Structure 1
Amino acid sequence: MSHILCPVPRRQEGVMASYGHSVAPEALLPCTAPASLPLLCPDGQQDVLLTRQQAPQTVPASELPPKVHEVAHNTGAYTSSGLATAGFRTAKYLENEWYQNTYARYYQAFCDRDKSERQRHESRQLASETEALARRTQEDSTRKVGARLQDMHSWKSELQRQVDELVAETHLLLAQKRRLERALDNSALSFSIATDNLQHRERRQHPDLVRDSVEVELLKEAELIRNIQELLKRTIVQAVNQIRLNRQQKEKCEINWSDKAESYNIDDKCSRYHNDSVEVQFHPHSMAFEESASTPETWARFNQEILQRADRERLATVKLRELIDNILRDTAEDLRLQCDAVNLALEKRCEELEDARHKLEYHLQKTLREITDQEHNVALLKQAIKGKEAPLKVAQTRLYQRSQRPNVELCRDIAQFRLTSEVEELNVSLEALKEKLLEAEQSLRNLEDTRMALEKDMVVKANSLCIDRQQCLAHRARYPTVLQLSGYE
């Protein structure tokens, strides 16, 4: 407990008593102590402890003795007047005024000390309160900066995750793009094989130059390859655009991450500052907000929009990769199915050509044998015609000689009729033999033409077989596999 020491005269002995005056102690204490402070007033020999309830009330300033320099009049029973005191007659204070002035000095000193003590107490209290407030404020600011660091770290981690995922998805999409390019190159090889097959088959000879099932399947294959190439080109363009968007979004995320990393370092440095740091200094104008400064809402919305755009591009990349997988798988299957259909049609056509060639060889052999037989038949007919000449000569000679008979001997007897009928029969036989010879010779010529046609047709079939089997099928053996058409090789 604080005490205020006030000098007061002793009750029985003291300065006042020496002058013959009795002064009440309450007159010496015209002040009021603080509400919680008792008054301890020593008089040099004895202390008088006064509580606030015992202390007198403060004397108003109007009741204090006026400081008027009044001249003490030397009148009265104990005054001296005359020449002996003539030199001491001057303006002097009264004794009561001296006491009052002294007590006023005491009171003023006491008031000044009391006010100073209150100020010291209030100052200590204010210093303690401001120190505690500054400490609490600094701790709260440090916690806020720490929370901001955690928030910043979480956003940085999320941005880093998005960047890593975008990089991974971009690499996967680049691999898919390379697959598309390889598939496009392999489709060019497939298209060249199909067009070469069509060009080779254009060199077939008549009558094998026909629009058969092989040509139909080859045309289908060429059309399918052209459509697939257009699809692959469009998909490559789409993949390139998506890769560009991914890289743009990755760059934005990296810029945002870099800004957050710089801000994180600044906030981390700020969180490590304390009152004993040597780097701190006054910055009077640091409280002013920048015009371009964002609010927590716009800051969070900006970060959320960046993450949403990055996630949207990532999901688009995933869907595009799945689409590319489906496209490559379907196109490879379609091309291989069409290739198998062309190969099957070629094999079937080769079997038909082989069967036709075997049949042509069979018919050629039969025709050759028939030509031989017909040649023998022609020779036989010629021999038969030649064999009828002698009997005809004999019969005609007989008729000629018998026509030389004289007069009535020139008779139409039985012999004459018989010779006549014999000549007629021989002529009829000769005509029939000659007609049959003509027919046999015509048949022989037809057989020769047939033989030539069969041989020519056999050559055509051999040429067609060579084109379909040794050129088309052999060339199609280099047709890309499913893995190659899918872009893996």
Structure 2
Amino acid sequence: AARPSAEPGAMAEAGDSLAEEPAPQALPSTARPMKMTLNTGPDSSGGLGAVGYRTAKYLPHEWHQHNSALYHKASAGCEQAECSRAEAKELAELTTAAAQCTQQHTTAALGQRLQDVHLWKVKLQKVIEELDAETGLLATQKRRLERALNAIEIPYVIATDNLKCRERRQHPDLVSDEVERELLKELELIRNIQELLKRTLMQAGNQMRINRDHKEICEMDWSDKVETYSIDDKCERYSNQSTNIQFHPGTVRFEESTSTPETWTKFSHDNIYRAEQEKLASINLRALIDNILHDTSEDLRRQCAAVNEAFAKRCMELHEAKYKLEHYLQKTLKEIGHQETTIAVLKQVIKDKETPMKVAQTRLYDRSFRPNVELCRDEAQLRLIGEVEELTESIASLKKKLLESEQSLKNLEDTRMNLEREIAVKTNSIFIDKQKCMAHRTRYPTVFKLAGYQ
């Protein structure tokens, strides 16, 4: 048996006591004589003289000692073997029990591990299904955004066409009125909504990509869990009676890339946490998209109603202006007729004055040939002169009035032409606003279509 080793404390104390004793003086190094065992006992023949019959034989007591030593050694060997056998049996029983207990604990640990793996596998599968469903819902909202963006092209074309059509109005109807201001406001609103929908569409695409990435990460983790569950389930089913077990000496080691239970749990927990965070972000984005589509469609329809109201009001103003112009045109035409009659009457009156003028002037002319003293400025002469002067003034007044009437007629004709031209302008404006613009605006999409449901 091995000698028990001294404890560290005792060895330290012994070392201290030895250190305190004085060191012996060194002796010179010389070769010592070899020790010899001499038989010098009473029965020894060492002192006899060398004779020829002497041989090296054992003495009887040496023979007995030798046998006794063998007996003792055999007995000690048997006792030691018996003790070793008992210890071996006890050790075998202990190791067998320990192996069975360890195997049971290992099997239980594998069972617990299977439960843990199954738990995380179920959680991952749930998150994968929820994230996949959420991505599908987000894809639906993304399609709504695309349909809404396409539907908004129609209002944009309508507003642009209305502005271009109204550029064909004639002066003085080519004014920056309320309709134009509302159309410009509608056009700006459409552009802003288009930019908003494009940004939201890009955000939805990015969120879907992130959802798919996290879904793929969770699927890889879930796939590893499924494979691990299959491996651990097979390992749990192994027993001492299994026929497909064998030695694998090189497996009793830890791989460099192995994880700890804490990092293993944290890995799946972090994957699930990030997936749930992205799912929540996707839910919030879907709600945001719903609100954006609702608000933008309502804003567009509200602005469309404002533009239609401005068009209706403008058309009413144009109709009223056209009605008044037509009324004044009728009045002007009537006055033109009266003025033409007046001019004809004045011309006739002037013509009628020519005969009395001829009579009066002929009388004066003939009386100018009276001889000598008969050429008297009598009453008849004075009246004839007064008659000529009166007729001259009357004709001058009539001609002046005729000129005034003719100028008035010319002014009335100019007014008639202006009124007719203005009526044509108003008719053209009414045609553009009512027949072109308002008719085109009947194609404006509904709220349901602007919200992306169609």
TM-score normalised by length of structure 1: 0.75
Letter in 2 for 1:415: A
Match of 2:373 in 1: 408
- Could you list the per-position Cα deviations for residues 127-163 of structure 1 after superposition, in whole angstroms to 9, with x for gaps in the alignment? 3322222222112111211221111112112211221
Match of 2:346 in 1: 381
Task: Supply the distance in 2 between the matched residues of 1:424 and 1:127 (Cα, whole angstroms).
Answer: 172
Match of 1:153 in 2: 118
Match of 2:52 in 1: none
Task: Supply the distance in 1 between the matched residues of 2:389 and 2:226 (Cα, whole angstroms).
Answer: 133
Match of 1:237 in 2: 202
Task: Supply the distance in 1 between the matched residues of 2:253 and 2:137 (Cα, whole angstroms).
Answer: 49
Alignment partner of 1:437 is 2:402: yes
Match of 2:280 in 1: 315
Task: Supply the distance in 2 between the matched residues of 1:320 and 1:166 (Cα, whole angstroms).
Answer: 14
Match of 2:163 in 1: 198
Task: Supply the distance in 1 between the matched residues of 2:412 and 2:448 (Cα, whole angstroms).
Answer: 56
Q: Quick one: which of 299, 302, 307 aligns to 1:334?
A: 299
CA shift, 1:235, in A, is 1.5
Comparing 441-450 with 467-476, which one deviates more in the overlay? 441-450
Instruction: For 1:4-403, list aligned pairs within 5 A.
Output: 118-403=83-368
Identity %: 60
Gaps of 5+ in 2: 1-42, 44-57
Task: Supply the distance in 2 between the matched residues of 1:209 and 1:463 (Cα, whole angstroms).
Answer: 11
CA shift, 1:418, in A, is 2.4
Task: Supply the distance in 2 between the matched residues of 1:414 and 1:277 (Cα, whole angstroms).
Answer: 172
The alignment partner of 1:477 has SS state of helix
CA shift, 1:410, in A, is 2.3
Q: Quick one: which of 397, 416, 436 aligns to 1:471?
A: 436
Task: Supply the distance in 2 between the matched residues of 1:324 and 1:419 (Cα, whole angstroms).
Answer: 106
Letter in 2 for 1:434: K
Task: Supply the distance in 1 between the matched residues of 2:449 and 2:256 (Cα, whole angstroms).
Answer: 60
- Could you list the per-position Cα deviations for residues 52-71 of structure 1 after superposition, in whole angstroms to 9, with x for gaps in the alignment? xxxxxxxxxxxxxxxxxx9x
Match of 1:484 in 2: 449
Gaps of 5+ in 1: 1-69, 71-90
The alignment partner of 1:210 has SS state of coil
Letter in 2 for 1:370: E
Letter in 2 for 1:459: A
Question: Which of the two has higher C-alpha Rg?
Answer: 1
Match of 1:16 in 2: none
User: Larger relative contact order (C-alpha < 8 A, sep ≥ 6)?
Assistant: 2
Letter in 2 for 1:450: T
CA shift, 1:231, in A, is 1.5
- Could you list the per-position Cα deviations for residues 412-453 of structure 1 after superposition, in whole angstroms to 9, with x for gaps in the alignment? 233322222222221111111111111111111222222222
Task: Supply the distance in 1 between the matched residues of 2:372 and 2:123 (Cα, whole angstroms).
Answer: 150
Letter in 2 for 1:265: S
- Could you list the per-position Cα deviations for residues 68-98 of structure 1 after superposition, in whole angstroms to 9, with x for gaps in the alignment? xx9xxxxxxxxxxxxxxxxxxxx9989xx8x
Letter in 1 for 2:269: Q
Letter in 2 for 1:375: E
- Could you list the per-position Cα deviations for residues 333-389 of structure 1 after superposition, in whole angstroms to 9, with x for gaps in the alignment? 111111111111111111111111222221121111111111111111111111111
CA shift, 1:126, in A, is 2.9
Task: Supply the distance in 1 between the matched residues of 2:425 and 2:246 (Cα, whole angstroms).
Answer: 104
Task: Supply the distance in 2 between the matched residues of 1:334 and 1:220 (Cα, whole angstroms).
Answer: 11
CA shift, 1:305, in A, is 2.3
CA shift, 1:411, in A, is 2.4
Q: CA RMSD in A?
A: 2.6
Count of residues paired in the alignment: 396
